[in-house]
Structure 1
Amino acid sequence: MRVYLITIIFLIFGPTFVKAQRFGYIDTDYILNKMPEYKKAQDEIGQLSEAWEKEIQDMSKKIESMYSALQAEQVLLTEEMRKDRTTAIQKKEAEMKEYQKKVFGFGGLFFLKKQELIKPIQDKVWDAVDKAAKQNNLAIVFDKAGELVMIYTDPRYDYTDFVLDELGLGDPNDKIKN
């Protein structure tokens, strides 16, 4: 999608746009992994995800044991008892699927928690990108970590360190900056 957008920009504004503008790129994966609050958020999301997965596994095991018990006792049960147990198993399966959807489905608890924890961090990064781009007179900043494939990148145009500086995470000994 980004490649198409860039192509459209080049087609609309032509070669003079490319010559007149400054470009740079950053690596958001690298930046985010340098941020302690991002690591903390990732850990919290991971713990929640594991807990929810364990709950679902426990529900699944209970359903399997109910099914095994039905199979083992099937010859001893009346038709009505078999139907009741089968209905109970189906109800538990439906409950498990509904819970799974509630937690991991689109707009589910996992999605909402991830958005709650990660979005403020991303906003902080985007604000730093905006500030670094304006300070360095950049018209366009690409994200090396995104879908845009960069075959070659000249380190002169890497503004990742400027964004890290804006976030207070830069290396004071870094002498590469322009």
Structure 2
Amino acid sequence: MKKIALIVTILFTATQIYAQKIGVVDTNYILSKLPQYKEAENRLNTQISQWQSDLQRLQTEYERKKEAFENEKVLLVGEQLKLREKEIVDMEASIRNTIGARFGSNGEVNQLRSNLTKPYQDQIWNAIKTVSTKNNLGIVLDKTTNNVLFLDKRYDYTDAVLSLLVKNLPKADETKNNALPGGNNKGQNGRTPKGKINSLQRKASSNEATELKASEN
């Protein structure tokens, strides 16, 4: 009797596992197909470019004053020397703080990007729930964050989620001004120089990386 009960339990469990189908969705691909998201991302990139330009100006001014101070230091005495030294130290600290505040791991860039993505993530999640229910999916993996070594196209529901999401999204002009706070976008092309931002983020994420070039002299 116990053997029969055990067999029934195993069969029931196997049936339940089989009934829970696994689906895969590529959320990055879905985001790339949403005009509203792409437009908001371009506006974010324009803001990043503006911040990078501001930081470059600060860096250039710092290096100019640092060089002038080094050349004139032998002529300075007393309070005048202290004031000039303090000016250089304060400028260095200001640049370091700006890098951390804007481009650090918890900086404004990441916060703005999170604010940009979250509303679309919520909408994608609701669309995934609908598609999962319709297709009897027990598990849904995201190709963006999981290492999928093999995928049968039958279990890729990205297009189904995207189709449902596009039907329910408002038109682009209704969300044009809502994704990001306003800013001066004149003269910007909306592109982010990835090399620069990656370099700045690396500087802000560690104590060594935030040391400025001039302070090494």
- TM tier relative to shorter chain: 0.7 to 0.9
Aligned-residue CA RMSD (Å): 1.8
**Change over 3 Å in CA distance of 1:79–1:15 after alignment to 2:** farther
TM-score w.r.t. length of structure 2: 0.66
Rounded Cα–Cα distance in structure 1 between residues aligned with 2:90 and 2:71: 20
Deviations 1:147-172 (A, max 9, x none): x2111100011101110111126xxx
TM-score, structure 1 normalization: 0.79
Tell me the residue number matched to 1:48. Answer: 47
Q: 1:104, 1:110 within 8 Å by CA — same for their partners in 2?
A: yes
Give the conservation status (yes or no) of the 8 Å contact 1:25–1:144. Answer: yes
Residue in 1 aligned with 2:21? 22
Structure 2 CA distance for aligned equivalents of residues 154 and 139 of structure 1: 17
Map of 1:150 onto structure 2: 148
Structure 2 counterparts to residues 1-178 of structure 1, below 5 A:
17-146=16-145, 148-168=146-166
Greater shift in the superposed pair: 95-104 or 159-168: 95-104
Aligned to 1:167, the other structure's residue is in SS state helix
Distance, in Å, in 2 between the alignment partners of 1:128 and 1:32 is: 13
Identity %: 35
Per-residue CA deviations over 1:46-67 (Å, capped at 9, x if unaligned) read 1111111111111111111110
Q: Cα gap change, 1:130/1:79 in structure 2, threshold over 3 Å: closer, same or farther?
A: same
SS at match of 1:25: strand
Whether the 8 Å contact between 1:41 and 1:118 is mirrored in structure 2 is no
Q: Structure 1 regions of 5+ residues with no counterpart?
A: 1-13, 170-178
Distance 1:136 1:82, change over 3 A: same
Distance 2:67 2:16 in 1: 70
State the SS of the aligned residue for 1:168.
Answer: helix
- One-letter amino acid of the counterpart of residue 164, structure 2: E
The one-letter amino acid paired with 2:67 is S
The CA distance in 2 between the partners of 1:63 and 1:47, in whole Å, is 25
Q: How many residues align?
A: 155
* Partner secondary structure for residue 139 of structure 1: strand
Distance, in Å, in 2 between the alignment partners of 1:153 and 1:106 is 33
Is this contact kept in 1: 2:34–2:166, CA < 8 A?
A: no
Q: 3-state SS of the aligned residue for 1:141?
A: strand
- For structure 2, the 5+ residue unaligned runs are 1-12, 168-217
State the shift of 1:16 in Å.
5.3
